[in-house]
Amino acid sequence: MKELVEAIRREGVGIGTDVVKVDSFLNHRIDVALSTSMGQEIHRYFQNKTVDVILTVEASGIAVALTTAQAFGNIPVVFAKKGDHINVGHDVYTADVYSFTHQKMNTIRVSRKYLPEKSRILIVDDFLANGEAIEGLLSIARQARCEVVGAAVCVEKGFQDGGKRLRAEGLDVLSLSTVQAIEDGKIILSE
């Protein structure tokens, strides 16, 4: 997606060989026009699928999940919560997700009542690297006996294996941008 690729070229910062910092427009400060366009782009790609609910993980996935849901005509968003939430209750689906960013295991939780059986789910998230978060959401969808129609992410790290593995499993994965490598602080993007 052109606007996003341009934003990454203009503002993204590569650190080491695997950190892509895009917090000026994606996951700390949010470029709201870009976020809205990304939601519309995700809708364009999946518009022939019936989607009942957008599923994401707090916190950075929420903005683009919301704009995607708007583009689908205001379908609901459900965001999985991380850690122990006294407000979530016990009637939940859970999955363990390792966060490379925070270098720790998180348990993500979704209340059972917000994923009725047979719901058609579109997973949306900001990043796809090793695929841990999306695997966790897929696990929750399986537990809920829901159908996952696909997954959409803003930035795929093409040099990590999550995208490859998920596609090999048959998941329809849309990446709005793909980082091929980080070299000397420069982010190399696929065309």
Cβ atoms of 123 and 67 within 8 Å: the answer is no
Answer yes or no whether residue 91 interacts with its own copies by CB under 8 A: no
Q: How far is the CB of 168 from its own copies (least distance, A)?
A: 29
What's the Rg (C-alpha) of the chain?
16
The residues in 94-113 that bind its own copies, with binding defined as CB under 8 A, are 101-103, 110-111, 113
Answer yes or no whether residue 19 interacts with its own copies by CB under 8 A: yes
Cβ atoms of 35 and 24 within 8 Å: the answer is no
Of positions 8, 26, 51, 78, contacts its own copies by CB under 8 A: 78
Answer yes or no whether residue 87 interacts with its own copies by CB under 8 A: yes
Helices (H), 47-125: 62-71
The residues in 28-57 that bind its own copies, with binding defined as CB under 8 A, are 28-33, 35-36
Structural tokens at position 106 = 């998180």
The residues in 126-185 that bind its own copies, with binding defined as CB under 8 A, are none
Nearest in space to 127 (alpha carbons), one of 90, 83, 173, 182? 173
CA distance linking residue 46 with residue 172, whole number of Å: 10
Query: Any residues with CB less than 8 A from the CB of 158 and at least 6 apart, and which?
Result: 178, 179, 180, 190
Cβ proximity to its own copies: between 59 and 167 the closer is 59
Answer yes or no whether residue 62 interacts with its own copies by CB under 8 A: yes
Nearest in space to 64 (alpha carbons), one of 89, 94, 43? 43
Of positions 114, 139, 165, 181, contacts its own copies by CB under 8 A: 114
Answer yes or no whether residue 77 interacts with its own copies by CB under 8 A: yes
Binding residues for its own copies, rule: CB under 8 A, are: 19, 21, 23-24, 27-33, 35-36, 58-59, 62-63, 66-67, 69-70, 74-79, 81, 84-88, 101-103, 110-111, 113-114
